[in-house]
Amino acid sequence: MEIETLSETFPLFDVADPELLEWLTTVAVEKEYAPRQKIITEDAWGNAVYFILSGWVKVYQQRDDEILTLDVLGKGGIFGEIAVLDEAPRLTNVIALTKVNILTIPAQRFLQFLFKDAQVHHRMLKMIIKRWRKVNQRLQLSQEAPLVRVANILLNLGETYGSDTSLGLEIFNFSTHEISDLSGVSFEDTAQVLERMTEKGWLQIDKKEQILTLSNHKQISQLIGN
């Protein structure tokens, strides 16, 4: 992969030393996963870091027959880095929601790269902190109305990973269960919120193509106070 493409897709790398980035990509492997195919499994040791080139994945935990969605990631997303940095077994599962193209970098080479490039190391820390702040933000919204909480999740996904089109911000059409888990809103209330947002023209759902479009993300942003 061209290092220019890598740095454009992943902000983590846009401050990297070009020679070091070239050195990193010599061991990177691009892989394709089919929808519903598992990518990493809970309790497995972290042997690589994963960079999403295209498609969507779900991060989840499974307890008996219950699946809890913890996060969803799209193009430009990174996962698997915590187990590599912590040198511990993975705490979550990751599965492909769509066809996914992923660049994998071996753990040892990634760690060596961080030690060699202080700017990327610093940006990596900032990225992890930003992720924890996002979790805290969700907790702070726990007392807000279901509409605000669901809208906040969809807007964050759209602004972080969505495609900006003439119709609005396009993201994957996540299931009601997945949106319910991410927002902390009951399944029934989440279904009602999605129906209400669709009636207001804030959402458009193409079930055939599995695309959810935030038709008026500026109004949604005003709704949640961003």
pLDDT-derived band at 115, boundaries 50, 70, 90: very high
Residue % of the chain over a pLDDT of 70 = 99
* pLDDT for the residue numbered 155: 93
Helix (H) or strand (E) holding 95: strand 93-96
**What is the predicted pLDDT for the residue at 143?**
84
* Sign of the dihedral through C-alpha 118, 54, 193, 71: negative
Residues in the chain: 226
The 10s digit of each residue's pLDDT in 10-36 is: 989 988 999 999 999 899 999 999 999
Q: Examine the pLDDT at 60 and tell me if it is beyond 70.
A: yes
Q: At residue 192, does pLDDT exceed 90?
A: yes
Domains observed in the chain: 3-120 (2.60.120.10), 140-223 (1.10.10.10)
Q: List 103's β-bridge partners, or say none.
A: 30, 51
Residue 50: pLDDT over 80: yes
Asked if 171 and 158 count as a contact pair (C-beta separation under 8 A), the reply is yes
Closest CA to 163 of 174, 176, 172, 175: 172
pLDDT digits (tens, 9 = 90+) for 173-184: 999 999 999 999
Edge to edge, the sheet with strand 48-54 lists 29-33, 100-106, 48-54, 78-79
Task: Say yes or no to pLDDT of 226 above 70.
Answer: no
Q: Once rounded to an integer, what is the mean pLDDT over residues 188-210?
A: 94
Share of the chain above pLDDT 90, in %: 71
Given this model, what pLDDT does residue 52 score? 97
What is the identity of the amino acid at 185?
Answer: V
Question: How many angstroms separate the CA atoms of 75 and 8, rounded?
Answer: 11
**Residue 180 in tokens:** 């319910």
> What's the whole-number mean pLDDT along residues 98-126?
94
pLDDT of residue 136: 84
pLDDT grade for 62, boundaries at 50, 70 and 90 = confident
Condensed to tens digits (0 to 9), the pLDDT of residues 119-171 reads 999 999 998 898 888 888 888 888 899 999 999 999 999 999 999 999 999 99
Alpha-carbon dihedral of residues 97, 102, 108, 110, nearest 10 degrees?
-110
| CA distance linking residue 191 with residue 182, whole number of Å | 13
> In which band, very low, low, confident or very high, does the pLDDT at 1 lie, cut at 50, 70 and 90?
low
**Burial annotation 170-198 (CB, 10 A radius, 16+ → b, else e):** bbbbbebebbbbbbbbeeebbbbbbeebe
pTM, entire model: 0.91
